[in-house]
C-alpha cells in the first residue's frame, strides 16, 4: 500500500466465515431472490411510488402555504421537512438508483430525476451508485467510510486531526446536504495530492447551478412571496433543510457505522466473485428496526442490508424480504446487524468518539449489551 | 377561457414559476391536480376508439384530446404515443396522425393496426391501443414530428399534380394529407390534380374504405385507385396512371418491401418523399447460440457478435463507453439499443423492444443488434 494514504490496510481484515463453496451458494440464493423480485415488479410498485410522490407534493405545497400564517409556522416547518425528507430519501435516493427505471416514466427515471438538495444528481449518482455501492466498505476505495473527513474505521490511521472527530461529525450532521454536495470534490484527496483542483473544474458549473437554484428558491423567492414575513419564512425554510439534514445524516450513519459492521481490505476483494460481493454487502451494512411509517420516512434505508444486496430494486420490497434474508443469514451463520434506532445511534456515537483517539482496534465492544442484535449463534 | 389562455401560458412558462418549482418543474405539480394540465409536457385523453377493420390484425382509429401544450401538426407528421401496459410499464411508439391538420390544443386521431407480439410477455402498444384502449384513458405524447409533409397548401395554390402512394397501414399519413387538402378547399377547380394509389391485402382490410369511396365519387379532382389482393406495386402500372410520375411530387408510405420497389422506380428523382417506421424487432434466436452482428451506430462500426456483454464487445472494438460497476447496479453505462434482442446475463431475461435503454455491462446480444454507441 502507498504510504501517502492514511490507511494502513492489513492484507486480510476478516476471517472468512464461509468456504468459497458456501459463498457461492449464498450468492446463488441472493440471485434467486433478486430474480423473483424482478419478476414480481409491476403495478403495486408503481402505485406505491406515485402515492409517495403525491404525498410529498402535498406536504410541500402545504408547507409553503402555511408560511403565510405566522401561528402555523411550526406546522409549516414540519410539513416542509417531511416533504424534503420524502423527496430526498424514499423518492430521490431510490429513483436515482434506477429502482423505477423499468416503469419507463421520465418523471421517475434515474437519468432524469433531480432532487430537492444542493448536490447535483449526476455527481451524487457517480459517488453513490458507482463508488459506494460497488466498493462498499473497502478501505481506500469506498469514500463513504468517514466521507474523507471522519475516522470511522480502526484501520484508518490515527492523526491528531481526528481529535475533532465528534465536532466534525456534528458539523457534517448540521450541514449534511452541503457535505454531500462537496463529497464529489474529493477535498481530502486534493490535500493528499492525489487529485488536483483542476480535476474538479468540470464539476464546478453544475454544482454552482444547483446551489444557486436551491438557494434562490428557499432563501429568496419563497420568503419574498410572503412579503413582511420574509425573515420568518426564510427561517422556516432553513429549519426544514436542517431537519432533513439531521434526519438523513443519522439514518445513513446507522446504516454503515454501528459496531459490528465489517470493513474489507482491497486485497480481500481482488477478483471478487458475485457471491463475495453479496457477502460483503451484507456484512458491511446494518438495519434499524421500526414501524411502517418510520421505514417510509427513512426511504426504507432502515433496511440498509437489503438495499445493499439489491440496490436497484424498489425499496418498498426490502421489508418484504427482510425475514427471508435473516433466515438465510442464520443458516450460514452470518451476522445480520439490526437494532432499534436508539441503540444503533448510540453505537455510532460511541464509535465516532472512540476513534477520535489513537488506536481503537476495538475488540468486540465490551461484552454484549452495546452490541447490536445479531442472529448468528 | 380563450382570453385567459395566453396569460395562463405566460404564467406557467415563466422563469419565476420554474424557479419556485425547481428542481421538479411546473408539470410535476400540475399533473397532481389534473393530468390534463401541463406547461410543457404533452398528454392526451382518449375520446373515441373506432374500429376500422376486423380480422386477424384489426385496425382502429383513436381520437385524442391533447393538453393545451399540443402545438398542432402538419399533414403527414407522426407523434410518439406512450401507454402504460404490462403492469405500469410505459412503452412508447410512433404513429402517423391520420386526421387533417390540427391547430394547437385541437383533437386529432391516429389510426393503428394491431400487431402481434414478437414474443410472449411483450405486449405491443398497437395491440393495446386497438384492442384494450378505452375512452377516458390517458396517453403520453410528444409534439408532432417528421418532415413527410406537404410542400404546398391551399393557401399557396399551384397547379402541381400531387401523387400519393401507400400500402397497408401506411395510408395514415397520406390520408391526413388528403383530408387536409379537402377540408381546406383544395377541390381541383383550378386544374389541380391529386392521384391517390393504395395497396391493401383485401377489400376487407381496406382502411377508410367508405370515406375513400366518397372521395372517389365526389367532384374534387382527386383520383382514388385502390388495389386489393396480390397485386404489388410496379413502375409499369404506375406509369399507366401517371406517365410522368418521376417528375411528379410524390408522397409514399408503406411496408418496407413496397418502399424499396417505389424507391427503385423513382431512381434518384428528388420528387419522391418517403416515410417508414421500424416495425419488426429482432427475431429471437433459440438457446445459447451466438450469431449475428453487433453495430455500434455512432462509431459506425460493426463486428461479429462474440456473445460477450455489449460493453465488452464495444471495448473490443476500441470504443470507450462510460461505465461504472460493470455488474448491473450503478446505471452508469445505460445506452440506447435501437434494434435487436439482448439477454440480461444476470436474469436471463430477453428483450426485443426497439429504442430501449439497457445496461450494456449486463446485456449480451442475441443475434444481430444495434446500439447507439
List the CATH number of the domain containing B353.
3.10.20.30
With beta carbons less than 8 A apart as the criterion, state whether B73 and B103 touch: no
Phi-psi region of B38 (alpha: psi -120 to 50; beta: other; left: phi over 0): beta
| Per-residue pLDDT, B186 | 66
Helix, strand, coil abundance in chain B, percent, nearest 5:
25, 30, 45
| Per-residue pLDDT, B284 | 42
Q: What integer is the mean pLDDT of A264-286?
A: 93
Q: Report the distance separating Cα A189 and Cα A192, nearest Å.
A: 5
With CB atoms and an 8 Å threshold, state whether A217 touches B325: no
> Is the torsion defined by CA of A307, A309, A311, A317 positive or negative?
negative
Percent of chain A whose pLDDT exceeds 90: 80
Q: Are residues B313 and B238 in the same domain?
A: no
**Residue that terminates a domain, selected from B275, B301, B332:** B275
Interface mutation target, options A61, A83, A100, A104, chain B, most CBs of B under 10 Å: A104
Q: Are residues B187 and B255 in the same domain?
A: yes
List phi, psi (to 5°) of A179: -60, -45
| Per-residue pLDDT, A374 | 41
Number of domains in chain B: 3
Q: Is A126 helix (H, G, I), strand (E, B) or coil?
A: helix
Least confident among A19-23, B194-198, B280-284, B368-372: B280-284
Q: How many CB pairs under 8 A join A and B?
A: 96
Q: How close A15 comes to chain B (CA, Å)?
A: 25
| ipTM > 0.90, yes or no | no
Q: Report the distance separating Cα A328 and Cα A32, nearest Å.
A: 12
Q: Which residue has the cell 416503469?
A: A103
List phi, psi (to 5°) of B349: -70, 135
Of B35 and B231, which is predicted with more confidence? B35
Q: Are residues B45 and B137 in the same domain?
A: yes
Q: Are residues B64 and B127 in the same domain?
A: yes
With beta carbons less than 8 A apart as the criterion, state whether B205 and B53 touch: yes
Q: What integer is the mean pLDDT of B339-357?
A: 84
Percent of chain B whose pLDDT exceeds 70: 89
Q: What integer is the mean pLDDT of A231-249?
A: 98
Of B17 and B124, which is predicted with more confidence? B17
With beta carbons less than 8 A apart as the criterion, state whether A315 and A91 touch: no
User: Using alpha carbons only, how large is chain A's radius of gyration in Å?
Assistant: 21
With CB atoms and an 8 Å threshold, state whether B329 touches A129: yes
Structural domain of residue B70, as residue ranges? Answer: 41-141
With beta carbons less than 8 A apart as the criterion, state whether A88 and A246 touch: no
| Per-residue pLDDT, B93 | 84
Q: Does A5 touch chain B (CB under 8 A)?
A: no
| Per-residue pLDDT, A73 | 97
| Per-residue pLDDT, B346 | 81
List phi, psi (to 5°) of B86: 50, 55
What is the tens place of the pLDDT at every residue in A158-185? 999 999 999 999 999 999 999 999 998 8
Q: Are residues B299 and B328 in the same domain?
A: yes
Residue B63 belongs to a domain with what CATH number? Answer: 2.40.30.10
| Per-residue pLDDT, B328 | 86
| Per-residue pLDDT, B347 | 77
With CB atoms and an 8 Å threshold, state whether B91 touches A47: no
Phi-psi region of A214 (alpha: psi -120 to 50; beta: other; left: phi over 0): alpha
Of chain A residues 105-144, which have a CB less than 8 A from chain B?
Answer: 105, 107, 110-111, 114-116, 125-126, 129-130, 133-134
Q: Report the distance separating Cα A93 and Cα A89, nearest Å.
A: 5
DSSP 8-state class, residue B338? E
Q: How close B124 comes to chain A (CA, Å)?
A: 15
Q: Is a pLDDT exceeding 50 seen at residue B61?
A: yes
Residues of A in contact with B334 (CB under 8 A): 110-111
Q: Are residues B230 and B136 in the same domain?
A: no
| Per-residue pLDDT, B275 | 86
Q: Is a pLDDT exceeding 70 seen at residue B17?
A: yes
Residues of B in contact with A126 (CB under 8 A): 324, 332
Q: Are residues B91 and B135 in the same domain?
A: yes
Q: Report the distance separating Cα B86 and Cα B122, nearest Å.
A: 8
Q: What integer is the mean pLDDT of A357-363?
A: 70
| Per-residue pLDDT, B4 | 66
List the grid coordinates of A142. 469506498
Q: Are residues B256 and B173 in the same domain?
A: yes
| Per-residue pLDDT, B12 | 86
- Give the chain B residue whose CA is nearest to the CA of A126: B332
Q: Are residues B269 and B299 in the same domain?
A: no
DSSP 8-state class, residue A97? T
**Residue that terminates a domain, selected from B87, B106, B141:** B141
Q: What integer is the mean pLDDT of A265-286?
A: 93
| Per-residue pLDDT, A367 | 39
Q: Does B156 fall in a domain?
A: no
- Give the chain A residue whose CA is nearest to the CA of B121: A39
With CB atoms and an 8 Å threshold, state whether A130 touches B346: no
Q: Are residues B131 and B166 in the same domain?
A: no
Of chain A residues 202-221, which have a CB less than 8 A from chain B?
Answer: 210, 213-214, 216-217, 221
Q: Are residues B193 and B269 in the same domain?
A: yes
With CB atoms and an 8 Å threshold, state whether B330 touches A35: no
Of A268 and A321, which is predicted with more confidence? A321
- Give the chain A residue whose CA is nearest to the CA of B22: A213
User: Cα torsion at B337, B340, B345, B350 (round to 10°)?
Assistant: 110
List the grid coordinates of B227. 388495389
Residue B206 belongs to a domain with what CATH number? Answer: 3.40.50.80
Q: Does B4 fall in a domain?
A: no
Q: Is a pLDDT exceeding 80 seen at residue B117?
A: no
Q: Which residue has the cell 426504507?
A: A300
> Best-predicted range by mean pLDDT among A240-249, B198-207, B260-269?
A240-249
**Residue that terminates a domain, selected from B111, B141, B171:** B141
What is the tens place of the pLDDT at every residue in A63-106? 999 999 999 999 999 999 999 999 999 999 999 999 999 998 98
Q: How do beta strands B249-253 and B272-275 pair?
A: parallel
Nearest-by-Cβ selection for A130 from B32, B89, B332: B332
Measured in residues, chain A has a length of 377
Q: How close A217 comes to chain B (CA, Å)?
A: 6
Amino acid at each position: 500500500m502507498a504510504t501517502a494514504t492514511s490507511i494502513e490496510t492489513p492484507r486480510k481484515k476478516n476471517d472468512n466465515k464461509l468456504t468459497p463453496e458456501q459463498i457461492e451458494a449464498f450468492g446463488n440464493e441472493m440471485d434467486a431472490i433478486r430474480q423473483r423480485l424482478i419478476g414480481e415488479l409491476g403495478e403495486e410498485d408503481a402505485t406505491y411510488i406515485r402515492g409517495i410522490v403525491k404525498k410529498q407534493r402535498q406536504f410541500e405545497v402545504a408547507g409553503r402555504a402555511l408560511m403565510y400564517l405566522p401561528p402555523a409556522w411550526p406546522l409549516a416547518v414540519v410539513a416542509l421537512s417531511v416533504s424534503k425528507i420524502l423527496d430526498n430519501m424514499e423518492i430521490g435516493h431510490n429513483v436515482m438508483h434506477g429502482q423505477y427505471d423499468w416503469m419507463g416514466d421520465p418523471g421517475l427515471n434515474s437519468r432524469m430525476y433531480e432532487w430537492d438538495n444542493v448536490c447535483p444528481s449526476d455527481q451524487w449518482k457517480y459517488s453513490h451508485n458507482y463508488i459506494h455501492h460497488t466498493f462498499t466498505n473497502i478501505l481506500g476505495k469506498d469514500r463513504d467510510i468517514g466521507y474523507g473527513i471522519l475516522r470511522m474505521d480502526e484501520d484508518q490511521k490515527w492523526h491528531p486531526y481526528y481529535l475533532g472527530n465528534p465536532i466534525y461529525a456534528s458539523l457534517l450532521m448540521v450541514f449534511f446536504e452541503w457535505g454531500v454536495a462537496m463529497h464529489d470534490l474529493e477535498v481530502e484527496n486534493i490535500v493528499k495530492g492525489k487529485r488536483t483542483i483542476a480535476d474538479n473544474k468540470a464539476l464546478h458549473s453544475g454544482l454552482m447551478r444547483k446551489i444557486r437554484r436551491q438557494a434562490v428558491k428557499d432563501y429568496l423567492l419563497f420568503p419574498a412571496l410572503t412579503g413582511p414575513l420574509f425573515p420568518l419564512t426564510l427561517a422556516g425554510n432553513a429549519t426544514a433543510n436542517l431537519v432533513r439534514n439531521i434526519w438523513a445524516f443519522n439514518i445513513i450513519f446507522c446504516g454503515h457505522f454501528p459496531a459490528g459492521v465489517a470493513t474489507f481490505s482491497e486485497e480481500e476483494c481482488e477478483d471478487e466473485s458475485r457471491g463475495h460481493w453479496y457477502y460483503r454487502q451484507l456484512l458491511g451494512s446494518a438495519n434499524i428496526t421500526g414501524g411502517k411509517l418510520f421505514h417510509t420516512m427513512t426511504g426504507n434505508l432502515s433496511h440498509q442490508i437489503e438495499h445493499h444486496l439489491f440496490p436497484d430494486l424498489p425499496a418498498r420490497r426490502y421489508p418484504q424480504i427482510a425475514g427471508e434474508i435473516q433466515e438465510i443469514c442464520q443458516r450460514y451463520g452470518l451476522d445480520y446487524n439490526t437494532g432499534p434506532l436508539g441503540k444503533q445511534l448510540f453505537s455510532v456515537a460511541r464509535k465516532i468518539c472512540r476513534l477520535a483517539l489513537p488506536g481503537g482496534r476495538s475488540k468486540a465492544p465490551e461484552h454484549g449489551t452495546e452490541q447490536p442484535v445479531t442472529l448468528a449463534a | 377561457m380563450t382570453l385567459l389562455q395566453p396569460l395562463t401560458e405566460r404564467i406557467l412558462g415563466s422563469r419565476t414559476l420554474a424557479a419556485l418549482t425547481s428542481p421538479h418543474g411546473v408539470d410535476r405539480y400540475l399533473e397532481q391536480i389534473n393530468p390534463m394540465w401541463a406547461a410543457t409536457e404533452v398528454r392526451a385523453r382518449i375520446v373515441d376508439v373506432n374500429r376500422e377493420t376486423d380480422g386477424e390484425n384489426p385496425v382502429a382509429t383513436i381520437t385524442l384530446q391533447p393538453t393545451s401544450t399540443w402545438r398542432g401538426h402538419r399533414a403527414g407528421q407522426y407523434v410518439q404515443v406512450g401507454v402504460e401496459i404490462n403492469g405500469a410499464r410505459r412503452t412508447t411508439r410512433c404513429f402517423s396522425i391520420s386526421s387533417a391538420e390540427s391547430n394547437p390544443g385541437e383533437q386529432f386521431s391516429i389510426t393503428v393496426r394491431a400487431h402481434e407480439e414478437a414474443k410472449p410477455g411483450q405486449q405491443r402498444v398497437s395491440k393495446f391501443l386497438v384492442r384494450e384502449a378505452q375512452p377516458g384513458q390517458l396517453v403520453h405524447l410528444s409534439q408532432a414530428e417528421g418532415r413527410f409533409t406537404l410542400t404546398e397548401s391551399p393557401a399557396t395554390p399551384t397547379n402541381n399534380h400531387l401523387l400519393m402512394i401507400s400500402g397497408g397501414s401506411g395510408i395514415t399519413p397520406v390520408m391526413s394529407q388528403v383530408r387536409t387538402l379537402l377540408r381546406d378547399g383544395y377541390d381541383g377547380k383550378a386544374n389541380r390534380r391529386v392521384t391517390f394509389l393504395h395497396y391493401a391485402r383485401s377489400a376487407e382490410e381496406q382502411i377508410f374504405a367508405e370515406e375513400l369511396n366518397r372521395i372517389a365519387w365526389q367532384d374534387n379532382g382527386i383520383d382514388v385507385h385502390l388495389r386489393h389482393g396480390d397485386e404489388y406495386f410496379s413502375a409499369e402500372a404506375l406509369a399507366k396512371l401517371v406517365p410522368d410520375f418521376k417528375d411528379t411530387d410524390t408522397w409514399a408510405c408503406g411496408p418496407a418491401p413496397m418502399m424499396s420497389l417505389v424507391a427503385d422506380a423513382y431512381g434518384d428523382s428528388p420528387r419522391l418523399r418517403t416515410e417508414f417506421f421500424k416495425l419488426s424487432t429482432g427475431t429471437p434466436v433459440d438457446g445459447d447460440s451466438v450469431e449475428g452482428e453487433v453495430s455500434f451506430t455512432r462509431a459506425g462500426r460493426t463486428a461479429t457478435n462474440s456473445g460477450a456483454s455489449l460493453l465488452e464487445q464495444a471495448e473490443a472494438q476500441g470504443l470507450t463507453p462510460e461505465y461504472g460497476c460493470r455488474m448491473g447496479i450503478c446505471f452508469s453505462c445505460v445506452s440506447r439499443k435501437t434494434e435487436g434482442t439482448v439477454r440480461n446475463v444476470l436474469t436471463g431475461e430477453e428483450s426485443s423492444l426497439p429504442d430501449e435503454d439497457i445496461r450494456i455491462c449486463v446485456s449480451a446480444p442475441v443475434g444481430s443488434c444495434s446500439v447507439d454507441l
